[in-house]
């Protein structure tokens, strides 16, 4: 029987790996926990830095997948992974000659940062909420009115030892700037403030977008980490921070406080690691064999990684890593 | 009734209260010179400031405070600037720093 | 607005308490400490042992950098030893700062066993007693919180405005040392401490959640003790007052000696120095300790609770709660002796504009 | 013999209005001159300068020699109009005298002599007919060129011309109609009476044969009315329009000869300069703000116009590199930079006694010696220049007192350029006392901006102020510096404040020649381009500065030289941003490199 590859996780990385493998004539089974493919991409509205509609990328990938002959099974969650195959939540065991783990990441649960009052005060949101609202076409405060003052807070759940998330999720900064621009364009009268420790514009066109946000849209970037949020009488949110560039504490009440949440490793990483003897990084992301020549292989032969399961990545990086993973799998199957 | 003197005064809060501050003047300044908003606070201008290394004058800090609506004393501080133009050569964001000094003094002159 | 305080549960003993008094509260609110013992013993029938041998925890000295760590450890060890000798296992402290000290020292012993050995040795050398560690350490407000339903059952008055039937709007202020140093040691954790809110809600009141709710009242030893810092201390209270004023609270309840004292007294200072007053009638917002609040709910006589010593007049609050009291007997001490009357001021405890003629 | 006809009325009104206004303006301006300037004028009159002034008036007001230098065709146009009209008046006047003898003839008699001549039935004088027609043709050629320039200005060597305000347009069109109207009117009269020269007579005869004398008679009155109205409108418009230049340039030349100059504070003397501007637009093309950045509302022509009509805005006054390129080209020789400066002074100068209190007791200088070296704030940002100068001083065996190595007080010119002259004065006083206290005999500076202010504003008598290029040349000539001549080729960028600002062109070039070959770029010496980063401009953005720098560096690199050399730290910083291919260095660097 021709050799079969199972891909765990139907996000952008999973789909691209499946596509590349099927182009090379290797039968592939793509398993996805949710009811539809696309992973986190399904939740996004527009993609930085070009404001490309997320559904464009998604539809393109899905459309390519339909014509590719890859076997796809949705709504089945993988709970155990071994070199020889995977076990589903339903107990069913699926054999495979190689497994590619593309389970991606989990959004940091902002409720853990209790002092920001997410899930407690009315007008505290996360970037995921905003993307959802943008997708629904209407962004507004809890009482439906338009915000006149919006504050974004960078690094929520990243670079924060208090919540054991030491790593930098790198894509949330640019997401924050993107949403700040989208909201400012949606509410031109509003003042938008971004509170940051460091602005990390790592990708091409990101710095220019940051500068455009500052100059054209007059978005205020305040270097200082909001320490505390509390509700005011009229349902707004009072925030406190230090404007470290002037060394003065700063206090203001805003209509919407938007927490720019980072990427957390999946809980399933630890489980998979235990099953198959995979190595994890301190941040909880799975550790590739090395970061250079074998950055898509795990320390166990036959198990491969692609996408944000090993580290925070943007969509472009995940897609290219998927192709590399597929290439490694083909090579592995040829040798084995 | 005259205010009692108990031998101490109540400390004034140092907080920048953006609810109470009137940002009209700062918006006017930013409308006239939007590039000022691209300041990333690297401090290159203040580092080589001629007046800055003779006094406590800190150009970056003063214009940041003005952008937060803290106009108190901004004019007197900016008056320490000799307008020699060194800062304009250093700014990585290409901000017309001398223009900012003159703009702030003009806008806040009668404050 | 839901609060996730439930995750911070704390185990509070039900009976047989070894009661450690507070050096400050005996002076600022003697009535409150007495009321606590009365409520526990008479109303709830609990055993509270008020051991004459125990001392204060020297917390003020420790926080003011006068008392070194080893000394305070020895004193605390002696307190626990006394508790052991008296046959009690549940140690309760009346003062928040003491509670912070006891928690901190127990945690230090936990973390660094060698300090416990040193303390054990110092105790033995100094007093010949052997160190014992309490099975349960709680603050007296935890205890009242624990018995809040029992008190509610015996309540003669509710925290309700009898004229309008509306629940009283209450600002609760938790001492910083209660849960901000060790979040696990406080009911509800440090973000949303529930110990006073629980009392208020079970006795019919309504909690006010204003932005500066968690801000410190400014009592800090080094702040109010040293005149140069006193301005900073008042500034903190002013910040809290400014933030709570729009919510029009009926009264403030606190569980720490300093907060109850200074939130009350600083209103006078602010009124005198800057002329600004808070509260609806412009004469300030009354500040109660939780024992006084419990006492009022159980129908104790306000003057017996010592509420005439408060800076802000409590009469308006008492009228709202429909409590019978003899306004004229305000300044008659326990045995009816006239204890003097303060001069009138905007925010003062001499009700100069009331119609009653104060009995001399 | 009555020289009165109804159509003379508009002309007479025009003349009356014009002369009364002009005289009133001059009297007022002169009266408000500061005492010192009035004294200069009174003492100046009985001196040969007056003769020189008269010769200059002829050379400039009539012949417009400086415009010829800009473009010969343009020069001819202006000369024909000015000189031609002048001769028409003079020769016309001699003609009336020739016919009627010396007794008094009213003004309109002279101007409309052709109309009044026939009734006198005098023998026509062929000489006058001929010369008058020749002169008229001469002027008409100028008018034709003026029409051409309006539609095709490039033919006259001008890429851009002035956008005129409505008032100027009216005066302009009136001027353009005067001489054709005269030709037409005179031709009709000549046609009726069969007289006139080759032009008017010829045209008259032609019209007579075409339309017949009777129709001409009908048109005669109308033609002369049209001519008179054209004159009248022009004269009334003149005092308010750009043509005030015609008369104002004369007193301007005399005042300038007597040494009346605009200075840092506005004075009524400036009005002579401002209203002498004919808004010809020659100052537009040299302005790099316009040619590179397309900013076309701040050039000197518009600045003077706005200031004259009291609509000068801050942005126009501040948005100027003050590089002096337009001043060099201005045919009227108006002191454009100083006028711009005193406008800025009026707008921004706020005397403040307590300002710069922190100067008191400040001295961060270092070393000791008769020669003081004031590097300049900008030079502190070009350390290669500093280290080169250090090696040069060492090589020359010079004991140097370093005035501002650890930072010091700025020379004051950038602040003065922004208009805050009184505060700048406080800096200058501080520095003057500093130089005096350290007893230096020679003050060397690497920054032309400092050089210009040391020379013009500081009172440093007893201290010789030189730029480091001059100092290096002296050292070479005194043999205290021996340089090897390498094979490298250099091209030299003249800093505005050094060249046009301080007149130093030769010294840097001879120093460069001492170390290598010098290749001159297209625009050089007085015509040299400005690097774009002038401290005088606080309006243009950083990106604009780079665009100007790129255009200048491009031209310098086009010479194919190995390196671009300049003598100003600011120009060096600007040009480095303008080119990535050619190395840019300061004069002192190439000298230090070739020290032996």
State how beta strands A85-88 and A93-95 pair: antiparallel
Residues 6+ apart with CB under 8 A from A188: none
Do D445 and D451 touch, CB atoms closer than 8 A? yes
Start-end of H helices in D238-380: 244-257, 269-274, 288-291, 300-308, 314-318, 325-329, 336-348
C-alpha closest to that of C278 among C269, C289, C262, C267: C267
Architecture of domain D263-347: Orthogonal Bundle (1.10)
Please list every residue in chain B whose beta carbon sits closer than 8 Å to the beta carbon of residue C239. Answer: 13
pLDDT in tens, C159-193: 999 989 999 999 999 988 888 888 888 888 888 88
Nearest to D60 by CA among D281, D250, D329, D260: D250
Cβ separation of B83 and D362 shorter than 8 Å?
no
Dihedral (CA of C115, C120, C124, C129) sign? positive
Cβ distance C231 to B8 less than 8 Å, yes or no, reads yes
Proportion of chain A in helix, strand, coil states, percent, rounded to 5: 30, 25, 40
Contact call for C191 and A121, based on CB within 8 A: no
Which of B15, B22, B62 to mutate to probe the A interface, most A CBs <10 Å?
B15
- What pLDDT sits at residue D321? 95
How far, in Å, CA of A258 to CA of A182, rounded? 13
- Per-residue pLDDT reduced to its tens digit, A205-242: 999 999 999 999 999 999 999 988 888 888 899 999 99
* pLDDT of amino acid A112: 87
Phi/psi of residue D438, nearest 5 degrees: -90, 5
Residue from D312, D309, D310, D311 nearest D320 by CA: D312
Alpha carbons D119 and D103: distance in angstroms, whole number: 18
Total tally of structural domains belonging to chain B? 1
- How distant is the Cα of C98 from the closest Cα of chain B, in angstroms? 29
At residue A243, does pLDDT exceed 60? yes
Q: How many domains does chain A have?
A: 2
**φ/ψ bin of D84: left (φ > 0), alpha (ψ from -120 to 50), beta (otherwise):** alpha
- Contact between A278 and A323 under an 8 Å Cβ cutoff? The reply is no
Say if residue A18's pLDDT is above 90: yes
Q: In CATH, which of 1.10.4160, 3.40.50, 2.40.160, 1.10.287 is domain D357-474?
A: 3.40.50
> For residues C178 and C258, what is the distance between their CA atoms, to the nearest angstrom?
13
Query: In this model, does residue C355 exceed pLDDT 70?
Result: no
D543 touches chain B (CB under 8 A): yes
Q: How far apart are CA A312 and CA A283, in angstroms?
A: 11
What residue in C sits closest to B10 (Cα-Cα)?
Answer: C231
Question: In this prediction, what percent of chain C has a pLDDT beyond 70?
Answer: 94
**CB-side neighbour CA atoms (13 Å) of D554:** 7
Which chains contact B through at least 3 pairs of Cβ atoms less than 8 Å apart? A, C, D
Tell me the chain D residues in contact with residue B82 when contact means C-beta distances shorter than 8 Å. Answer: 356, 409-410, 412, 414-415, 427
Same domain? A114 vs A258: yes
Q: What is the pLDDT of residues B33-91, one digit of tens each?
A: 999 999 999 999 999 898 988 889 999 999 999 999 999 999 999 999 999 989 998 89
Q: Which among B30, B40, B70 has CB closest to A218?
A: B30
**What is the three-class DSSP state of D161?**
coil
Residue of C nearest to B14 (CA): C235
Residues 6+ apart with CB under 8 A from D192: D118, D204, D208, D213, D216, D217, D220
Does C246 sit within 8 Å of A121, measured CB to CB?
no
The fraction of chain A above a pLDDT of 90, given in percent, is 87
Crossing angle of helices D200-237 and D126-151, rounded to 10° = 60
Are 3 or more Cβ–Cβ pairs between C and D shorter than 8 Å? no
DSSP letter at A26?
-
Residue A162 touches chain C, beta carbons under 8 Å: no
Cα(D435)–Cα(D430) distance, integer angstroms: 9
Residues with Cβ < 8 Å from B14, sequence gap 6 or more? A248, A249
pLDDT score at A2: 59
Does residue A150 carry a pLDDT above 90? yes
Q: Tell whether A298 and A178 lie within a shared domain.
A: no
**Residues C319, B32: Cα–Cα separation, whole Å:** 60
Give the model's pLDDT for residue A1.
Answer: 46
Which domain covers residue A305, as residue numbers? 5-105+265-335
Tokens of D445: 């500076």
Residue B12 to chain D, least CA–CA distance (Å): 28
* CB-CB contact of A40 with A63 (8 Å): no
Q: What residues does CATH 3.40.50.11810 cover in chain C?
A: 149-348
DSSP D14-70: HHHHHHHHHHHHHHHHHHTS-HHHHHHHHHHTTSHHHHHHHHHIIIIIIT-HHHHHH
On chain B, the residues whose CB falls within 8 A of the CB of A224 are: none
Q: B8 to chain C: which residues are within 8 Å by CB?
A: 227-228, 230-231, 234
> Which residues of chain B make contact with D542, given a CB cutoff of 8 A?
35, 88, 91, 94-96
Contact B68 A253 (CB under 8 A): no
Residue D152 reports pLDDT greater than 60:
yes
Yes or no, beta carbons of B89 and D573 under 8 Å apart: yes
Residue-range domain boundaries for chain D: 8-32+63-240, 263-347, 357-474, 485-593
* C220 chain-B contacts, CB cut-off 8 A: none
Alpha carbon separation from A239 to A149, A195, C172, D148 (Å, rounded): 12, 11, 21, 70
Cβ–Cβ below 8 Å for D542 and B95: yes
Distance CA D372, CA D411 (A): 14
Search chain A and give the residue with CA nearest C209.
A231
A83 near B CB under 8 A: no
The predicted-structure confidence for A251-295, as pLDDT tens digits, reads as follows: 999 999 999 999 999 999 999 999 899 999 999 999 999 999 999
Task: Report DSSP state, residue C247.
Answer: G
Residue B6 lies in a domain: no
Q: Please report residues of C whose CB lies closer than 8 A to that of A232.
A: 211
Residue that the structure tokens 């909001």 belong to: A226
Question: pLDDT tens-digit profile of C310-331?
Answer: 888 888 899 889 998 888 788 8
Cα-based distances in Å from D180 to D79, D144, D191: 18, 10, 16
Q: Can you tell me the distance from the alpha carbon of A82 to that of A80, in angstroms, rounded to the nearest whole number?
A: 7
Spatial distance between the Cα atoms of B13 and C238, rounded to a whole number of angstroms: 10
Closest-CA residue in chain C for A123?
C1
Q: Does D525 touch chain B (CB under 8 A)?
A: no
Which residues of chain C are in CATH 1.20.1050.140 domains? 12-140
Query: What pLDDT score does A75 carry?
Result: 93
In D, minimum Cα distance to B110 occurs at D350
Tell me if A257 sits within 8 A of A153, measured CB to CB: yes
pLDDT tens-digit readout, D262-275:
988 999 999 999 99
Q: C275-284 long-range contacts, Cβ below 8 Å, gap at least 24?
A: C275/B1, C275/B3, C275/C346, C277/C346, C277/C347, C278/C241, C278/C244, C278/C245, C279/C245, C279/C312, C280/C248, C281/C316, C282/C346, C283/C312, C283/C313, C283/C316, C283/C346, C283/C347, C284/C311, C284/C312, C284/C313, C284/C347
Contact between residue C287 and residue C260 where contact means Cβ atoms under 8 Å apart: yes
Residues A167 and A90 in one domain: no
Q: Give residue D121's pLDDT.
A: 57
pLDDT at D139 over 90: yes
pLDDT digits (tens, 9 = 90+) for C132-158: 999 999 999 999 999 999 999 999 999
The CATH number given to whatever domain includes residue A189 is 3.50.50.60
C-alpha–C-alpha distance, residues C342 and C266, integer Å: 16
Place of tokens 């030349």: D253
Distance from the Cα of A219 to chain B's closest Cα (Å) equals: 8
Asked whether the beta carbons of residue D418 and residue B83 sit closer than 8 angstroms, the reply is: yes
B38 and A215: CB-CB below 8 Å? Answer: yes
Cα–Cα separations (whole angstroms), residue D89 to A148, D82, D92, D110: 74, 11, 5, 8
Name residues whose C-beta falls within 8 Å of residue D477's C-beta, 6 or more positions apart in sequence: none
Fold of the domain built from segment(s) D8-32+63-240: Fumarate Reductase Cytochrome B subunit (1.20.950)
* CA dist., res. D205 & res. D214, Å (int): 13
Average pLDDT over residues D439-452: 94
Confidence at residue C341, expressed as pLDDT on a 0 to 100 scale: 79
Give B85's contacts in chain D (Cβ within 8 Å): 377-378, 414, 535, 570
Phi, psi of A95, rounded to the nearest 5 degrees? -85, 155
Chains C+A touching (3+ CB pairs under 8 Å): yes
Integer CA distances (angstroms), D67 to A194, C38, D59, D60, D339, in order: 59, 110, 11, 9, 22
What percent of chain B stands above pLDDT 70? 96
Residue C1 has a pLDDT of 40
pLDDT tens digits, residue range D195-213? 878 888 888 888 888 888 8
Q: Which of D288, D411, D241, D266 is nearest to D335 (CA)?
A: D266
Q: Quick one: pLDDT band at residue B2, thresholds 50, 70, 90?
A: low
How many angstroms separate the Cα of A176 from the Cα of each of A133, A296, B108? 15, 29, 33
The architecture in CATH of the region C12-140 reads Up-down Bundle (1.20)
For residue A121, the chain C residues in CB contact (below 8 A) are: 1
pLDDT class of D123 with cuts at 50, 70, 90: low
- Of A234, A262, A290, which residue is a domain's last? A262
In a 3-state reduction of DSSP, which class is residue A155?
strand
> B98 and D358 in contact by Cβ < 8 A?
no
Q: Give the integer Cα–Cα distance in Å for A11 and A33.
A: 10
What is the per-residue pLDDT for A235? 86
B10 part of a folded domain:
no
* Res A306 pLDDT > 50: yes
Residues A25 and A187: their CA atoms lie apart, in Å, by 51
Please give the residue that has the higher pLDDT: either A306 or C307.
A306
Residue D219 has pLDDT above 90, yes or no: no
Which of A262, A288, A305 terminates a domain? The answer is: A262
Q: Does domain C149-348 have CATH number 3.40.50.11810?
A: yes
Put simply, the answer to whether B10 touches C228 (Cβ < 8 Å) is no
Residue D157 has pLDDT above 90, yes or no: no
A near B: at least 3 beta-carbon pairs less than 8 Å apart: yes
Instruction: Quote the minimal CA–CA distance from A108 to chain C in Å.
Output: 18
User: Looking at residues A310-326, what average pLDDT do you find?
Assistant: 96
Cβ neighbours of C211 in B, within 8 Å: none
Q: For the residues C21-45, what does the mean pLDDT come to? A: 90
C-alpha span between A158 and A178 (Å, rounded): 18
Instruction: Give the mean pLDDT of A155-174.
Output: 92
ipTM for this model:
0.83
Q: How far is B67 from chain A (nearest CA, A)?
A: 9
Q: Tell me which residue range forms the domain holding B50.
A: 24-108
Ranges of H-type helices in A195-292:
206-215, 267-276
Mean confidence (pLDDT) of chain B = 90
The residues, any chain, with a CB within 8 Å of residue D152's CB and separated by 6 or more, are: none
Q: What is the pLDDT of residue D405?
A: 85
Specify whether the CB–CB gap between D302 and D187 falls below 8 A: no
Q: Domain D485-593 belongs to what architecture? A: 3-Layer(aba) Sandwich (3.40)
- Does C349 have pLDDT greater than 60? no
Residue C273 has its nearest CB partner, among B10, B12, B13, at B10
| Domains D8-32+63-240 and D357-474 belong to one CATH topology | no
Work out the average pLDDT over D289-300.
94
Local confidence band at D119 (pLDDT 50, 70, 90 cut-offs): low
β-bridge partners, A256: A150
- Chains touching chain A through at least 3 C-beta pairs below 8 angstroms are B, C
Q: Using the predicted structure, report yes or no on whether residue B3 has a pLDDT greater than 80.
A: no
Q: Which residues pair with D366 in a beta bridge?
A: D402
User: Distance between CA D82 and CA D60 in Å, rounded?
Assistant: 10
Residues 4-43 of B with CB under 8 A from D: 35
Question: pLDDT tens, A69-85?
Answer: 899 999 999 999 998 89
Residues from chain C contacting residue A114 (CB–CB below 8 Å): 4, 189, 191-192
Question: How many beta-carbon contacts under 8 Å exist across A and C?
Answer: 30
Contacts with C211 from chain A: Cβ below 8 Å: 230-232, 238, 253
Taking alpha carbons only, the member of A237, A241, A236, B11 closest to residue C238 is B11
Q: What is the pLDDT of residue C26?
A: 87
Q: In chain A, which residue's Cα lies nearest the Cα of B43?
A: A245
Which of the 8 DSSP states describes residue A163? G
Say if the Cβ atoms of C275 and B4 lie within 8 Å: no
Nearest CB neighbour to A233, from listed C4, C192, C247: C247
| Chain A residues inside the 8 Å CB shell of C210 | 230, 233
The proportion of chain D whose per-residue pLDDT surpasses 90, expressed as a percent, equals 71
pLDDT at D307: 94
Taking only the tens place, the pLDDT of each residue in D531-540 is: 999 999 999 9
> For the stretch D316-343, what's the b/e string if a residue is b when 16 or more beta carbons lie within 10 angstroms of its beta carbon?
bbbbbbbbbbbbbbbbbbbbbbbbbbbb
Chain B residues close to D356, C-beta within 8 Å = 80, 82
In A, minimum Cα distance to B28 occurs at A218
Confidence of residue C2 (pLDDT cuts 50, 70, 90): very low
| Main-chain dihedrals φ then ψ at residue D494, nearest 5 degrees | -75, 110
Residue D45: phi, psi to the nearest 5?
Answer: -55, -50
Side-chain half-sphere CA neighbours of D132 within 13 A: 29
């Amino acid at each position: 029987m021709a050799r079969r590859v199972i891909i765990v996780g139907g996000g952008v990385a999973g789909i691209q790996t499946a596509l590349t493998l099927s182009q090379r004539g290797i039968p592939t089974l793509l398993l996805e926990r949710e009811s539809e493919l696309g992973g986190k991409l399904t939740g996004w509205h527009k993609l930085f830095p070009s404001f490309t509609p997320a559904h464009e990328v998604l539809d393109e990938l899905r459309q390519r997948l339909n014509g590719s002959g890859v076997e796809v099974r949705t709504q089945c969650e993988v709970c155990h992974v071994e070199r020889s195959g995977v076990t589903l939540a339903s107990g069913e065991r699926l054999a495979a000659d190689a497994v590619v783990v593309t389970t991606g990441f989990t959004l940091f649960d902002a409720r853990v940062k209790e002092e920001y009052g997410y899930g407690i005060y009315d007008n505290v949101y996360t970037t995921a909420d905003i993307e959802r609202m943008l997708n629904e076409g209407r962004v507004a405060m809890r009482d439906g009115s338009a915000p006149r003052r919006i504050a974004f807070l960078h690094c929520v759940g990243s670079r924060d030892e208090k919540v054991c998330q030491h790593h930098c999720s790198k894509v949330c900064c640019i997401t924050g700037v993107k949403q700040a621009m989208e909201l400012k364009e949606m509410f031109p009268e509003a003042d938008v403030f971004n509170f940051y420790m460091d602005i990390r514009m790592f990708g091409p066109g990101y710095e220019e977008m940051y500068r455009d946000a500052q100059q054209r849209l007059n978005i205020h970037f305040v270097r200082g980490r909001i320490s505390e949020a509390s509700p005011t009488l009229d349902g707004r949110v009072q925030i406190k921070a230090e404007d470290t560039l002037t060394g003065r504490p700063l206090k203001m009440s805003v209509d919407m406080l938007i927490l720019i949440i980072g990427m957390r490793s999946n809980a399933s990483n630890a489980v998979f690691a235990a099953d198959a003897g995979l190595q994890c990084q301190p941040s909880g992301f799975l550790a590739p064999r090395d970061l250079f020549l074998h950055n898509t292989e795990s320390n166990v032969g036959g198990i491969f990684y692609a996408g944000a399961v090993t580290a925070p990545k943007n969509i472009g990086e995940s897609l290219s890593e998927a192709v590399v993973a597929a290439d490694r799998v083909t090579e592995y199957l040829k040798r084995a | 009734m005259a205010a009692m003197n108990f031998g101490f005064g109540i400390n004034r809060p140092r907080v920048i209260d953006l609810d109470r501050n009137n940002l009209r003047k700062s918006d006017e300044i930013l409308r006239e010179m939007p590039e000022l908003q691209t300041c990333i606070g690297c401090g290159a201008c203040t580092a080589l400031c001629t007046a800055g290394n003779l006094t406590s004058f800190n150009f970056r800090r003063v214009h940041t405070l003005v952008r937060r609506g803290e106009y108190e004393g901004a004019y007197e501080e900016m008056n320490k600037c000799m307008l020699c133009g060194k800062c304009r050569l250093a700014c990585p964001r290409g901000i017309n720093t001398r223009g900012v000094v003159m703009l702030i003094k003009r806008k806040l002159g009668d404050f | 607005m839901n609060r996730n305080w439930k995750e911070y549960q704390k185990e509070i003993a039900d009976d047989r308490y070894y009661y450690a008094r507070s050096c400050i509260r005996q002076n600022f609110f003697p009535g409150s400490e007495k009321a606590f013992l009365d409520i526990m013993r008479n109303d709830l029938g609990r055993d509270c042992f008020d051991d004459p041998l125990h001392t204060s925890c020297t917390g003020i000295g420790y926080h003011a950098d006068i008392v070194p760590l080893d000394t305070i450890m020895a004193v605390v060890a002696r307190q626990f030893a006394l508790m052991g000798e008296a046959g009690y296992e549940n140690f309760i402290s009346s003062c928040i700062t003491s509670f912070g000290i006891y928690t901190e020292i127990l945690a230090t012993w936990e973390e660094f066993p060698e300090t416990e050995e040193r303390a054990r040795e110092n105790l033995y050398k100094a007093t010949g007693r052997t160190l014992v560690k309490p099975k349960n350490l709680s603050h007296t407000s935890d205890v009242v919180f624990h018995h809040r339903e029992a008190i509610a059952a015996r309540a003669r008055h509710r925290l309700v405005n009898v004229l309008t039937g509306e629940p009283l709007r209450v600002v609760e202020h938790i001492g910083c040392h209660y849960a901000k140093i060790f979040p696990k040691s406080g009911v509800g954790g440090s973000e949303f401490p529930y110990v006073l809110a629980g009392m208020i809600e079970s006795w019919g009141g309504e909690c006010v959640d204003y932005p500066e709710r968690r801000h410190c009242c400014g009592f800090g030893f080094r702040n109010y003790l040293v005149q140069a810092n006193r301005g900073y201390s008042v500034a903190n209270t002013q910040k809290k007052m400014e933030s709570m004023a729009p919510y029009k609270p009926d009264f403030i309840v606190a569980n720490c000696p300093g907060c109850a004292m200074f939130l009350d007294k600083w209103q006078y200072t602010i009124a005198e120095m800057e002329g600004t007053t808070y509260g609806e009638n412009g004469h300030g917002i009354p500040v109660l300790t939780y024992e006084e609040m419990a006492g009022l709910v159980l129908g104790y006589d306000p003057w017996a609770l010592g509420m005439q010593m408060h800076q802000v007049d409590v009469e308006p609050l008492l009228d709202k709660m429909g409590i019978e009291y003899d306004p004229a007997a305000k300044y008659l001490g326990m045995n009816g002796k006239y204890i003097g009357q303060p001069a009138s001021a905007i925010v003062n405890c001499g009700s100069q504009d009331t119609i009653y003629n104060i009995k001399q | 013999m009555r020289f009165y006809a109804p159509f003379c009325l508009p002309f007479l009104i025009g003349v009356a209005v014009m002369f009364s206004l002009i005289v009133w303006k001059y009297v007022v301006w002169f009266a408000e001159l500061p005492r010192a300037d009035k004294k200069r004028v009174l003492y100046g009159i009985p001196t040969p300068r007056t003769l020189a002034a008269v010769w200059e008036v002829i050379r400039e007001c009539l012949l417009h020699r400086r415009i010829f230098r800009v473009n010969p065709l343009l020069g001819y146009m202006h000369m024909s109009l000015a000189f031609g009209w002048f001769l028409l008046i003079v020769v016309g006047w001699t003609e009336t005298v020739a016919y009627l003898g010396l007794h008094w003839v009213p003004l309109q008699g002279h101007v409309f002599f052709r109309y009044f001549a026939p009734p006198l039935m005098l023998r026509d004088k062929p000489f006058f007919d001929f010369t008058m027609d020749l002169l008229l043709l001469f002027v008409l050629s100028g008018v034709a060129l003026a029409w051409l320039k309006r539609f095709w200005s490039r033919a006259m060597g001008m890429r851009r011309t002035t956008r005129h305000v409505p008032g100027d347009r009216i005066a302009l069109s009136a001027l353009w109609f005067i001489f054709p109207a005269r030709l037409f009117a005179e031709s009709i009269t000549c046609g009726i009476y069969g007289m006139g020269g080759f032009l008017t007579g010829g045209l008259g005869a032609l019209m007579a044969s075409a339309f017949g004398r009777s129709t001409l008679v009908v048109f005669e009155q109308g033609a002369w009315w049209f001519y008179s109205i054209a004159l009248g409108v022009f004269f009334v418009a003149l005092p308010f329009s750009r043509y005030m230049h015609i008369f104002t340039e004369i007193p301007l030349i005399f005042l300038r000869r007597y040494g009346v100059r605009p200075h840092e504070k506005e004075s009524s003397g400036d009005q002579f300069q401002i209203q002498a501007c004919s808004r010809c637009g020659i100052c537009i093309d040299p302005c790099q703000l316009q040619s590179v950045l397309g900013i076309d509302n701040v050039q000197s022509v518009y600045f003077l116009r706005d200031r004259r009509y009291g609509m000068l805005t801050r942005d126009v006054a501040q948005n100027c590199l003050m590089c002096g390129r337009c001043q060099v080209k201005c045919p009227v020789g108006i002191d454009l930079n100083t006028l711009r400066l005193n406008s800025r002074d009026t707008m921004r100068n706020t005397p403040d006694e307590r300002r710069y209190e922190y100067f008191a007791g400040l001295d961060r200088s270092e070393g000791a010696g008769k020669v003081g070296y004031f590097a300049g704030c900008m030079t502190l940002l070009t350390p290669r220049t500093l280290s080169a100068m250090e090696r040069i001083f060492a090589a020359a065996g010079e004991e140097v007192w370093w005035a501002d190595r650890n930072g010091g007080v700025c020379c004051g010119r950038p602040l003065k350029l922004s208009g805050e002259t009184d505060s700048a004065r406080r800096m200058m006083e501080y520095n003057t006392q500093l130089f005096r206290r350290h007893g230096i005999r020679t003050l060397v500076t690497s920054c032309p901006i400092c050089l210009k202010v040391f020379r013009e504003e500081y009172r440093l008598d007893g201290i010789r102020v030189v730029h480091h290029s001059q100092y290096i040349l002296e050292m070479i000539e005194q043999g205290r510096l021996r340089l090897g001549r390498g094979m490298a080729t250099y091209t030299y960028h003249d800093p505005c404040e050094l060249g046009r600002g301080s007149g130093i062109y030769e010294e840097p070039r001879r120093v460069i020649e001492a170390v290598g070959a010098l290749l001159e770029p297209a625009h050089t010496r007085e015509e040299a381009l400005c690097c774009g980063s002038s401290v005088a401009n606080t309006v243009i953005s950083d990106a604009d500065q780079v665009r100007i720098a790129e255009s200048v560096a491009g031209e310098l690199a086009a010479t194919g030289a190995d390196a671009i050399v300049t003598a100003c730290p600011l120009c060096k910083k600007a040009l480095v941003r303008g080119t990535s291919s050619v190395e840019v260095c300061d004069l002192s660097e190439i000298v230090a490199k070739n020290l032996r």
